[in-house]
Structure 1
Amino acid sequence: MKFAVKAWSNGKARAGVLQLGNCPGPIETPALLLSTRKGLPHFIPPDLLPSLPSPDSHLLQVSPLHFLEGLSPKTISKIGGLNKMLGLPDYGFAAVARDSMQSIPEYSSTNRIGASFETRVGRLLIKPVDYVEMISCMRPNIWATLADEVPAWVSEKRNKTSVDRTVRWLDECIALSSAGGTVFGSIVGGSNVEERERCAQEVAERNVSGYWIGGFGLGESMEERPALLNAVTDVLHEEKPRLVCGLGLPEEALQGVSAGIDLFDSDYIYHVTLGGFALTFPPSGVDISASEFCPSYDGSERTKINLRATIFRHNTHHYLKFFKSIREAIRAGEFDQFRRRFIESRRACDHLALTDDRAMAAVAVCI
C-alpha cells in the first residue's frame, strides 16, 4: 500500500492518492468504502460492480465478525483469501471489526483479555491472537486492530479504560501479525477530547501504516464532533491515511474531510436503501437554487425519494459522485465554499419541506 497527499484546501481538508497492489488504478481520496456482508456489497450483485465508477468503488470494507458463521478462516485461507474466494481479484479489502448490520450501543464489554461483540451467533469474545489469525487467513489489503469502542455517555473512567485497552490490543496485534505493513492502528476515546488526543499520540508512536478512528456515531452531537476529530488528526502523521467509521450523513462526512480524514464507510447509504429511499441531493452541492435542490418526489423528506414508488436504485452511484465533488473542490482550493453552500442548500430544503408539511396538515384538518 502506498499513500500520498496531493492537495490541501482551507487548512486540513486534503486530497490524496491511495495505491493498492491488486487494484486497477489509484484510489483518489477522500473516498467512500463500500460496506459489505461477507465481502460482497449490499444491494449490488457482483456482476454489476463494474458498472460503478472505477477505481472509486474498488475498495470494500469487510467485517471479520461476519465470518464467525459459515466458512472457517482456515478454509478461506486454503482457498486463497477473500479475493479468490469471492472472485474479486481487482478489488481491495479493508477489514474492520465492526458490524455495519447492527447498531450496538457498546461494542466491547469490560473483559480484560479480548473484545466482546454481538454477532448473529450470539455474543462472542475475540482475543487478539484469534483476531490476527482471522486476518492472516482472509488476507485483506488493510486491517484495523481491535478497539474498545464506547458510546458518548460513559464515565470518564470507562473512557480511560477503553483507551488503555485499545492501545494494549494494538501492541498485541502488531506483535502477532505477519502482515504489519497493512495495519491501521485503532484510535478511540469516546466524547473526551483529552482521551482522544492521548490515544492518537500513543498510536502515532507505533509502527503502523495508517489509522482507523472509531467510536463515532455512538451518541456524540454534531456540535462536539469537530473538537473530537481535530484532537486526533492534529497529532497524526500527515503522510499516513486515516479511515473513520460512523460519519455517514453528508454533513458528517464533510466534518470528517474538514478534519483531514481520507476514507469513510458507507453504512449511511446501506441504511437509506434498506429503509426504501434513494438520495436525490445534488452531489456537487453548488450553484443550485432551493427549488432545484428540492425536487418534487414522494417521500418522507425532499432529499430522498421513496424507492417503493420508483423503478431505480442509485444510492451508491450518487454518494460516490458526492465524494468526487468533494475531491474536486479540494483540488480547486474551494472546499470551505463547497461545504458552506452544500449545508445552506440542505437547510433551505429542510425549511421548504417543513412548510409543505404544515400546509398538508392544515388541509387535512379542514377536510
Structure 2
Amino acid sequence: MEFTVRACSGHGRVGSLRLASGLEFETPSLLMITRRGLPVVIPPEMLMDLHPDSRACQFTPMHFLEDPLAAVVAKAGGVHKLASLTGFAMVAVARDSLGNEIAGEEASNLGASFETSSGRRIVGLEKYMEVVNACKPDLWVSLPDEVPHWVPEKRNRESVDHTSQWLDHCLSLQHAEHGNRCLGVVVGAGSLEERARSAEQAATRNVAGFSLAGFGLGEDVAQRGFHLEVAIAKLPNDKLRHVCGLGSPEEVLQAVGAGIDLLDSTYPYMLTKECLAMTFPLKMEVPLRNADRDMQPTPDHGVASGFSLAKVNLRSATYGIDETPLVTGCKCYTCKRHTKVYINQLLNSNETLAQTLLEIHNTYHYLEFFKAIRESIKADKFHEFRTWFTSQRQELGVLSLGNIPRVVSCN
C-alpha cells in the first residue's frame, strides 16, 4: 500500500491511495457501508457503474463470526470473491454502536464486546484475526477496546492500554504474505490526554495508517474537533488516517478539516430508509436561490409537503405529479432515467425498487459531495467551502450555525 499527500488546505488534505491490488483512488474518500461485503440495497452489478469513486467499501469482520463462518470465506478466496466485488477496496473495521463499556473490566481483558446475530458476545484477538485473515481485506483495523466518552478515568486508561497491547498482538497474528495492511487504532474517549497517549503509542508501531475510534458515541460535538486535532498531531503526516462513526455532511467536513482521509457513513442509507432524496447544493459558485429552479416552492408547496433544498420526501403527495428528476442535472442512474412521480408511485406501492433507486441517487450525491471537498482542497479553498456549506445548510434550516473552526496549516 502507498499513500501520498498531494495537496493541503488548512489541515484538510487530498491524498492518493494505491492498494496492493493496484486499485488507486483519491482521498478524502467515502467508504460505502456493506453487510457481509455486499451493499445493503444496491445490486453489485449496478455498484460497478454507480460513480467513478464507488470502489471503496467497508465491512465488519463480526458478520463472519457465525454465518458464514470464517472458514467458508477463506475457502471462497476472501470477501472480495465471496461478494463478487473483485476490483473494489475492502476495509475491515471492528465497530460497535455501544462501545465496550458495557462489557466491564473483566470481559475487556478477554476481548472486545460486539453485537452479533446471536446476541452480544466477547470477541478475542485470535478469533478476530482468524476472521480478518480469512477475509483478506485491502486494509484492516486492529481490534479496539473502544469505550464511550462517559466512562470513568480508570476505565479509559485501561482502554488505551488494552488497545495498544492488542495492536501488537494483532500484528503478530496477521498473515505475512498479505503485507502491511493494518490501521492501528487510536482511542481515548473523553480525555484529551489519553487520546494523545494512545496516538503516541500507535505512532511507534509498524502500521499502514491509523483509525481514530470512539467517535459517534455521544461525545460533545463542540469538543470533538479538539479530540481529533490532539490525536492527529501525534501521528505521522505521511500515513493514512481513518475515522469511524462520523457520517453526516457536517461531521465529514469537521473530520476532513482535522486531517482525516477515509470515512464511513450510513447517512445516505438512513435517508433512503426515510424515503428521502439528497438534494443539497454542491458548488459554491451556484447561488442557493438558483441551486435547483425546478424545486422552488410555491405557497402550497413547502416543507410540510415534503419540500426542502437539502432533501425531499418522495412519499409526499406533492411528487405524485412531478415529472422532474430528483436533482436537475444529476448524472446518476436514477436521475437520468426516472422521475419523482415514478419513485413516489413505487414507494407508495411498497416496491423494493424504490429503495434501490433512492439509494443509488443518495450514494452518488454523497460521493459528489466528497469530490467537491477534494476540489476545494486542491484550490486551497476548503475553509471557504466549509463556511459556505454550513451557512447554506443553516439557511435551509437543516442545522444551527456553529463556530467555523480556525484555519491552520497542513502538518
Q: Judge same fold: TM > 0.5, yes or no.
A: yes
Where 2:62 maps in the other structure, the secondary structure is helix
Aligned twin of 1:356: none
Instruction: Tell me what 2:310 maps to.
Output: 303
Distance 1:194 1:300 in 2: 45
Matched, 1:155 2:152: yes
Amino acid paired to 2:112: A
Q: Which among 16, 32, 35 is matched to residue 33 of structure 2?
A: 35
| Aligned partners of 2:100 and 2:113 also within 8 Å | no
- Structure 2 gaps, min length 5: 298-302, 317-339, 344-356, 401-411
Task: Identify unmatched segments of 5+ residues in structure 1.
Answer: 354-367
Match of 1:339 in 2: 386
* Secondary structure in 2 matching 1:350: coil
Out of 69, 72, 93, which is 2:69 matched to?
72
Amino acid aligned to 1:155: P
Q: Quick one: which amino acid aligns to residue 115 of structure 1?
A: A
For residues 81 and 212 of structure 2, what CA distance do their matches in structure 1 show?
29
Contact 1:204 1:236 in 2 (8 A): yes
How many Å separate the matches in 2 of 1:286 and 1:41? 33
Distance (Å, rounded) in 2 between the aligned partners of 1:84 and 1:132: 19
Helix, strand or coil at the partner of 2:250:
helix
Q: Which residue of 1 aligns with 2:368?
A: 321
Distance 1:286 1:259, change over 3 A: farther
Q: How far apart are residue 161 of structure 1 and its match? A: 1.5
Give the whole-Å Cα distance in 1 for the aligned partners of 2:399 and 2:101: 39
Instruction: Measure how far apart 1:276 and its partner are.
Output: 2.1
Report the alpha carbon displacement of residue 285 of structure 1 after superposing the two structures with TM. 4.9
Distance 1:345 1:63, change over 3 A: same
Name the SS for the 1:159 alignment partner: helix
Correspondence for 1:364: none
Paired residues in the alignment total 347
Structure 1 position 108, deviation (Å) = 6.2
Q: How does 1:181-200 map to 2 (within 5 A)?
A: 181-200=180-199
- Give, in whole Å, the separation in 2 of the partners of 1:59 and 1:292: 29
Matched residue of 1:265: which SS?
strand
What CA distance in whole angstroms lies between the structure 2 residues aligned with 1:123 and 1:132?
Answer: 19
Q: Which secondary structure state, in structure 1, belongs to the residue aligned with residue 110 of structure 2? A: coil
Q: Could you tell me whether the CA contact under 8 Å between 2:36 and 2:64 is conserved in 1?
A: yes
Matching residue's letter, 1:49: L
Aligned ranges 1:196-235 → 2 under 5 Å: 196-235=195-234
Q: Residues 6 and 17 of structure 1 are in contact (CA less than 8 Å); yes or no, is this contact kept in structure 2?
A: yes
Q: What letter is aligned with 2:195?
A: R
Quick one: which amino acid aligns to residue 3 of structure 2?
A: F
Cα offsets for 1:78-119 (capped at 9, x unmatched)? 1111111111111110000125xxx43656622111111111
- Tell me which residue corresponds to 1:115: 112
- CA shift at 1:316, angstroms? 0.1
Q: Distance in 2 between matches of 1:166 and 1:343?
A: 35
Q: Contact between 1:107 and 1:117, CA under 8 Å: does it hold in 2?
A: no
Identity of aligned residues (%): 44
Aligned residue number for residue 361 of structure 1: none
Partners of 1:245 and 1:118 lie apart in 2 by 17
The alpha-carbon deviation at position 41 of structure 1 amounts to 1.4
> Out of 131, 135, 146, which is 2:132 matched to?
135
Letter in 2 for 1:220: E
Give yes or no for contact 2:91–2:139 (8 Å, CA) kept in 1. yes
Deviation at 1:8, TM superposition (A): 0.7
Give CA deviations for 1:108-160 in whole Å, capped at 9, x if unaligned: 62211111111121111111111111111110000000111111222222211
Instruction: Compute the TM-score of the two structures, normalised by the length of structure 1.
Output: 0.89
